[in-house]
Every structure is written in C-alpha cells, then in structure tokens.
Amino acid sequence: MKPTVHDIARSAGVSLATVDRVLNGRPGVRSITRERVEEAISSLGYVRDVAAANLAKGRTYSFTFILPDNDNSFMIGLRDEVRLAMARSGAERVLIRTLTVPPFDAEALVAALETVLEEQPAGIAFVAVDAPSVRAMTQRLKEAGVAVVTLVSDLPGSARDHYAGIDNQAAGRTAAGLMGRFLDGKGGRVAVLAGSMLLRDHRERLEGFLSVLAEDYPKLAILPVMEARDDATLAGELVSSALARHPDIAGIYSLGAGNRGLIRALRDMKAERRPRVIAHELTSSARAALSEGLIDAVLNQDAGHEVRSALRVLKSKADGLSVIAAQERIRIDIFLKDNLP
Amino acid sequence: MKPTVHDIARSAGVSLATVDRVLNGRPGVRSITRERVEEAISSLGYVRDVAAANLAKGRTYSFTFILPDNDNSFMIGLRDEVRLAMARSGAERVLIRTLTVPPFDAEALVAALETVLEEQPAGIAFVAVDAPSVRAMTQRLKEAGVAVVTLVSDLPGSARDHYAGIDNQAAGRTAAGLMGRFLDGKGGRVAVLAGSMLLRDHRERLEGFLSVLAEDYPKLAILPVMEARDDATLAGELVSSALARHPDIAGIYSLGAGNRGLIRALRDMKAERRPRVIAHELTSSARAALSEGLIDAVLNQDAGHEVRSALRVLKSKADGLSVIAAQERIRIDIFLKDNLP
DNA sequence: CTGAAAGCGCTTACAG
DNA sequence: CTGAAAGCGCTTACAG
C-alpha cells in the first residue's frame, strides 16, 4: 500500500504535525528530527496525495486572467475559452477572475497587474505586451510568490514561469516552407500582409517567413510588407491595390488578423488568377474561405488548449509541482480544407 | 461558500448517509425522502467534490492498456508513453497495467480482453483490430460496466466509449491536399506506398488520399499502390524499382511504417530528380529525412497525447463524468523541417 | 521545538 | 428505510 503521513510518523517516531512541517518545509523542527523524518520519507518512498492535501487546506486556487479587449475573432474566442474554463472550474476548487485591458497598452497592463497583485492571487495569466515596465512588474509578481504565465504573446527574458502559446518564428518558417513548395515551378511574387510591426508575434512570424524564403526559395521575389493594423477594410484595400499593381503575385501570406478584407479581395478575382494564400487563425471566415478554396492553408493556435494549458501550469506551479513539458507545448495547427475539425 | 453534503442534509432534514444514497443513486430511500433531498441538491446548487469522494472511497482506478508488440518506431513510442503514464500515475490513485499481444491478431486480442475482463478493471484501452469477435467482446466489456477506449486504431460501430486517435481519412485527404499543391504546375505521377490493405487505418488513409486527388487534382496520375508490409527493406526495393520504371514520379505518399527503406532509396537519387515526399509518423529517421530535405512533410499522431487522452477519458467515464470534447480530439500534426519540435 | 485533536467533503459499514 | 460514527490522507490551530 502507498505509505501515508501516518506511516512516516510511526517510522520516524514523531507526530503528524512534525511530519507535516518537514513535508512542507516549515520552520520549527530540530535538524536531527528533520533528518529522521526525511530518512523515513525517502526510505518508505512516500509521495504526497495532493488531492487530500488540498482538501485539508480547504484551498481554493485563485487565478486571474488579464485579456486585451480586442474585438477580433481570435481574442473573442480566447475570452470565450476563459469563460468556459471558469464555468468548469467550480468543481475543482479553482476560482478564476478575469480582467480586460486595452490592447497593446503596456501602461494599462502594468496597472492591471498592480491591482491584481494586491489581491494576492495564486497565479496570473496575461497576454504580454513587450515592454520593460511589464518585465519589471513580472519580476515583482514573482517576488510576491505569484505564479506567472504569459498567454498567446510571450515576454522572453522575463521572470515568467511559462509561456502558453505558439512559437511564432516557427509559424512563419512553416508558412514559408509551404508557400515555397506551393510555388515551386511557378515563380512569381509573394506579398505579405501583417497587422503591425509593433507586435512581437507579427514581427517573429515575418522574420521566420522571410528567412526561410531567402534561404530555401531565393527565386521568389517578396514585396514590401503591408501593414493593415488588423483592420479588415484596410487589409482589403491594400491587397486589392497590390494585386492590381502586380499581376504576377503568386502567393500571399497573411500573418495577422483582419482576414475578412483579404478574403473579399480574393473573391473579387477571377478564379484562375488567384494566388496561393496562407493565413493565420481558424476563424469562421477563414474556415469558409478554406472550404471555398480562397485560402489554401491556415496556421492556427488553439485558444482552448492555450487556456487549459495555462491553467494546468498555474495549478502545478502553485502546488510546486512539475509540468509535463510535451503536454504543454502549444502546437501550430495546420489546416487545409481537407482536415477541418 | 460552496454547499457540501452537510448543507444538503440539514436543508433536507436527513442524515449524511441518506444524502449520499441519493447522490449516488443507491437504493433504499423512500421516494418522498429522495425528492426532498433532490430538491435541496438543486436549490442549493450542489456540485460534488470528486477529489473528496475519491479520497473517502479509497478508490484507485485500475486501468489496463493492451498494446501490440509491433516493433516499429511508432508502437515502441506508444508503449514508452504508456510506461511514462504508469510512472506518473502513482500520485493520482491510478493503477495502470499493460498487456502486449501479437499485432493484427483478432483472436489474441479477444483472448487478452477476456483475461482482463476477469480482473474487473475500471477501464480498458486497446489498439483495436477490426473484427466481429472484437466487437462482440467490446459489447461484453461494456455490459460488465468497464469503460472502453480504442487507441490509435478504432472500432467504429462498436460499443466503445471513445476513440483516442486521429481521423485517418482526413489524414489521407490532407496528404493529397498538400501533394496536389506541391505538384501543381509540374504534373507527373504519384506513387503510394502502404503497409497493408488489411489495416483499417491504411485503407482509410488511402481512400482519403485518392478521393481528393481524383476530385481536386485530376491531372495527377496515380500508380498502383505498393504494399510493403511496413517492412523497410521491402519498401526500399519497391520504391527503387518504381522510380527506375517511372522516371516521371513527381510525388510519393508513404502512408504506413517502414520509412527507413524509402529514405534510403531517396538518398540514392540525384537531388534534382527527387520527388516530393509525404510520410507518416515523426520517427527519428523521418525527422532526419525532413531536415535533410528528403521528405517534405510528415503527418504525425502524438502518441503521448493519445495515451494521456485515453487515460483522462477512462477516468471521466469511470467517474461518470463528461469529457471536454475539444480537448480530447487527437489532431493530425503536420511537420515540415521548419516546425520540428 | 513537538504533539493531540479536530476538521476538509465525502463514503462506508453497522445498528436500528 | 434511515442515521450516528468512523475514516480516507492530509493540515491547522492550540497547548505545552
């Protein structure tokens, strides 16, 4: 049978309270006693029953998610997933709070984190804005013993415990690998539609995309990046005018949001003139465009997975447990019309 | 505060034991009493604390995994993942047993299931062999109240609770969608290398592949399917001779195991003559071939995810809980050399 | 510095 | 048909 605290107490000749003190690294135990207990723990091969511990502690994990109030489909979906997690969380002694902040606003994010810190939650997940002030704040959170997970957008080099999101460089490289093979034997120009170069994930995708094209497909000519600020109308205009100016555009990589405008521009073209198109995020309009054949491939990050993973990691960190790395890796899903879920 | 059994007992004016009987649908409660308790449960919005219940029950879930003793990389990896899960399971009152059986052998599988049934486990996961006897056995397992999950290979139309594996039809379609786009503007023949048409997953992949090629890329000519029985040597010979006979082979879809032989044949060719190649399962040799540029894309099922998902589902079913469908969908991973994990 | 006792939310014999 | 009491594995005041 699995050994329990009782077995350890008996074997070490101490009381339950002392076992508990040693188990949880609490002070007030003579080192001789501590050693006796530790000896018993390891010789019996004790592993703590976390569920029982939490029950006894009457512990409810309180976690806060800070999400930008962006109104694009992806962020809406992300907020929905957090809401779903909140609904499920009751059964698992987890209390999730949500805070929304204006997007891309480091000051607002820092202010929100400050507020949350005062509530002393067990953990925080937030969509990072890449700024020194956010890094400094993250450091303070960690010093206060709060588990910190960045969600969707990372803060590399900061003190955060974990990043729940995709590798955007790899996503860009993958898009290039696909595009290069799609256009192999055809040639032509490649257009890139981005949201904003101020966004770290967009920059990283672009970087990955360009580096692979340059290295593996040098014959493909790349047009200057168009920035549509994740705005569908602007995206549509930019794409239409680029297509008008360069009739030899053979491929388009849309690495940001606002795909509805892109799709409209594509639909306006003659079918046989349409370029190969790779876009991000499987929104309902992207899904429709895939089925219709307007978009060839969609790279997707699963918001549900990201939220569940963030939660699992927060819980593990709050318990001081380790995570299963392979399980928490957020993958880049690639969808063609043929493998739509 | 979350209501507990005590609150219900007080509110309904009964004892804890009676609350428990109603909660667990056990007999021996007058219907008037039962109604009073149910009234209290719903009016207080009670949700049971599963962790506490399991602690009280002293319950250990016992699950059995039945795995074929195939020696290809994928099956070896699958068995490794089950072993990892066993190592982790101690902490969660889960006991996992493993049984290996000869592959593709319905009788052996049925015999193994029979043995396992006598041990009355809470649940069973097995790599299905598609046969009526296995279906009948599955039915008996369910009648005995055992949770049943098929792993990697499904048994459609049977009584199993869940399938933890990919949609192989969709995988074949996806391969075709990629291949069609890779060869668009080039033309040529497409060769298909399979393990055995007796394997349901191979048949389904082929079916998906052929249907999309026929519908969307009618200009691509498809050579008769080669069956290499998942044997690397045979695969190498078949591919080499096909390439010799048909110098215009522009694409190869390898939908089974035994890719080492295929890779050898590819390496022997002049680089500029090499076809586009799509294969299955990210084994170490496939990974190397991707990096080397011998293989263009690998469709992969993550054995670790499949095992963890199977376990989660078995646990939920054993507890009579529902599962998060989106979380348990096993995705078809697509790897280029650019997004290798 | 250490221990006895009560309690977390549930279940389980046992008694009536 | 119903209930009082003990117990699952841990933690937490409180007392000494």
Sort out which chain B residues have CB atoms less than 8 A from A315's CB and list them.
none
Check whether residue A13 and residue A109 sit in a common domain. no
Residue A49 CA, nucleotide C5 C1', distance (Å): 21
Q: Tell me whether residue A339 is in a domain.
A: no
Of B331, B333, B336, the CB nearest to A178: B336
**Residue numbers of B between 157 and 186 with CB closer than 8 Å to A:** 167, 170-171, 173-174, 176-178, 181-182, 184-186
Check whether residue B120 and residue B177 sit in a common domain. no
Sign, Cα dihedral of A276, A280, A282, A283 = negative
Sort out which chain B residues have CB atoms less than 8 A from A47's CB and list them.
90-91
For residue B193, pLDDT over 90 is answered with yes
pLDDT value of residue B305 = 94
pLDDT value of residue B124 = 96
Check whether residue A104 and residue A216 sit in a common domain. no
Strand D–CB A57 distance below 7 A? yes
* Beta carbons of B177 and A337 less than 8 Å apart: yes
Q: How many CA atoms within 13 Å lie on the side-chain side of A199?
A: 21
How many angstroms separate the CA of residue B107 from the nearest CA in chain A? 34
Strand C–CB B336 distance below 7 A? no
Q: Does A341 touch chain B (CB under 8 A)?
A: yes
Check whether residue A147 and residue A192 sit in a common domain. no
Tell which residue, B235, B245, B340, has the closest CA to residue B293.
B340
Residue for token pair 């099922």: B301
Check whether residue B216 and residue B276 sit in a common domain. yes
- The residue lying closest to nucleotide D10, measuring its CA against C1', is A53
B192 DSSP 8-state letter: E
**Helix, strand or coil for residue B197?**
coil
Q: Tell me whether residue A217 is in a domain.
A: yes
pLDDT value of residue A188 = 87
Q: What is the 3-state secondary structure (H, E, C) of chain A?
A: CCCCHHHHHHHHCCCHHHHHHHHCCCCCCCHHHHHHHHHHHHHHCCCCCHHHHHHHHCCCEEEEEEEECCCCHHHHHHHHHHHHHHHHHHHHCEEEEEEEECCCCHHHHHHHHHHHHHCCCCEEEECCCCCHHHHHHHHHHHHCCCEEEEECCCCCCCCCCEEECCCHHHHHHHHHHHHHHHHCCCCCEEEEEECCCCCHHHHHHHHHHHHHHHHHCCCCEECCCEECCCCHHHHHHHHHHHHHHCCCEEEEEECCCCHHHHHHHHHCCCHHHCCEEEEECCCHHHHHHHHHCCCCEEEECCHHHHHHHHHHHHHHHHHCCCCCHHHHCCCCEEECHHHCC
Q: Tell me whether residue B254 is in a domain.
A: yes
- The residue lying closest to nucleotide D8, measuring its CA against C1', is B56
Distance CA(B249)–CA(B244), nearest Å, equals: 9
**Is the Cβ–Cβ distance between A171 and A299 less than 8 Å?**
yes
pLDDT value of residue B302 = 95
Distance CA(A105)–CA(A95), nearest Å, equals: 26
Dmax over CA atoms of chain A, in Å, equals: 85
Mean pLDDT of B206-220: 95
Of B54, B174, B305, the CB nearest to A336: B174
Tell which residue, A60, A302, A214, A332, has the closest CA to residue B335.
A332
Q: Tell me whether residue A196 is in a domain.
A: yes
Strand C–CB A33 distance below 7 A? yes
Check whether residue B175 and residue B277 sit in a common domain. yes
Distance CA(A174)–CA(B336), nearest Å, equals: 7
Residue for token pair 């110098």: B247
pLDDT value of residue A322 = 80
Check whether residue B159 and residue B308 sit in a common domain. yes
* Beta carbons of A326 and B338 less than 8 Å apart: no
pLDDT confidence bin for B181, thresholds 50/70/90 = very high
Strand D–CB A321 distance below 7 A? no
Distance CA(B49)–CA(A94), nearest Å, equals: 12
Q: Which domain holds residue A128?
A: 59-165+303-330
pLDDT value of residue B146 = 92
* Helix spans in B119-192 (H): 132-143, 168-183
Considering A270-274, B40-44, B116-120, B298-302, the range whose residues carry the highest mean pLDDT is: B298-302
For residue B294, pLDDT over 80 is answered with yes
Tell which residue, A149, A153, A56, A155, has the closest CA to residue A96.
A149
Q: What percent of chain B has pLDDT over 90?
A: 67
Q: Tell me whether residue A9 is in a domain.
A: yes
List chain C nucleotides near protein: any atom < 7 Å from a Cβ.
Answer: 1-14
Q: Which of A50-64, B194-208, B304-318 has the lowest mean pLDDT?
A: A50-64
Sort out which chain A residues have CB atoms less than 8 A from B338's CB and list them.
170, 173-174, 176-177, 208, 212
Q: In which element (H, E) is residue B249 found?
A: strand B249-254
* Beta carbons of B182 and A186 less than 8 Å apart: no
Check whether residue B204 and residue B85 sit in a common domain. no
pLDDT value of residue B1 = 74
Check whether residue A154 and residue A179 sit in a common domain. no
For residue B182, pLDDT over 90 is answered with yes
pLDDT value of residue B49 = 87
Q: What is the CATH number of the domain that holds B229?
A: 3.40.50.2300
Q: Tell me whether residue A291 is in a domain.
A: yes
Mean pLDDT of B316-337: 89
How many angstroms separate the CA of residue B3 from the nearest CA in chain A? 11
**Helix, strand or coil for residue B247?**
coil
Nucleotide nearest A57 (Cα, C1'): D11
B158 DSSP 8-state letter: S
Of B51, B185, B296, the CB nearest to A51: B51
Nucleotide nearest B59 (Cα, C1'): D8
Sort out which chain B residues have CB atoms less than 8 A from A304's CB and list them.
326-327
Q: Tell me whether residue B93 is in a domain.
A: yes
Distance CA(A296)–CA(A277), nearest Å, equals: 5
The residues, any chain, with a CB within 8 Å of residue B51's CB and separated by 6 or more, are A51, A52, A54, A55, A92, A93
pTM of the model: 0.89
How many angstroms separate the CA of residue A122 from the nearest CA in chain B? 19
pLDDT value of residue A257 = 86
Check whether residue B288 and residue B182 sit in a common domain. yes
Q: What is the CATH number of the domain that holds A32?
A: 1.10.260.40
pLDDT value of residue B318 = 83
User: How far apart, in Å, are the Cα atoms of B132 and each of A78, B165, B339, B341?
Assistant: 44, 20, 41, 40
Per-residue pLDDT of chain A (341 residues; tens, 9 = 90+): 788 999 999 899 998 999 999 988 888 888 898 988 899 899 988 988 888 888 898 878 889 999 999 888 889 999 999 999 998 887 677 889 999 999 888 999 999 999 999 988 999 999 999 899 999 999 999 999 899 999 999 999 999 999 999 999 999 999 999 999 999 877 789 999 999 888 888 999 999 999 999 999 999 999 999 999 888 899 999 999 999 999 999 999 999 988 999 999 999 898 888 999 999 999 999 999 999 999 999 999 999 999 999 999 998 888 777 888 888 999 999 999 999 99
Check whether residue A172 and residue A295 sit in a common domain. yes
How many angstroms separate the CA of residue B137 from the nearest CA in chain A? 31
Check whether residue B9 and residue B44 sit in a common domain. yes
Query: Which bin fits A153, alpha (ψ -120 to 50), beta or left (φ > 0)?
Result: beta
Q: Tell me whether residue A341 is in a domain.
A: no
**Is the Cβ–Cβ distance between B230 and B256 less than 8 Å?**
yes
How many angstroms separate the CA of residue B338 from the nearest CA in chain A? 5
Residue B166 CA, nucleotide D16 C1', distance (Å): 64
Number of domains in chain A: 3
Sort out which chain B residues have CB atoms less than 8 A from A334's CB and list them.
334
For residue B312, pLDDT over 80 is answered with yes
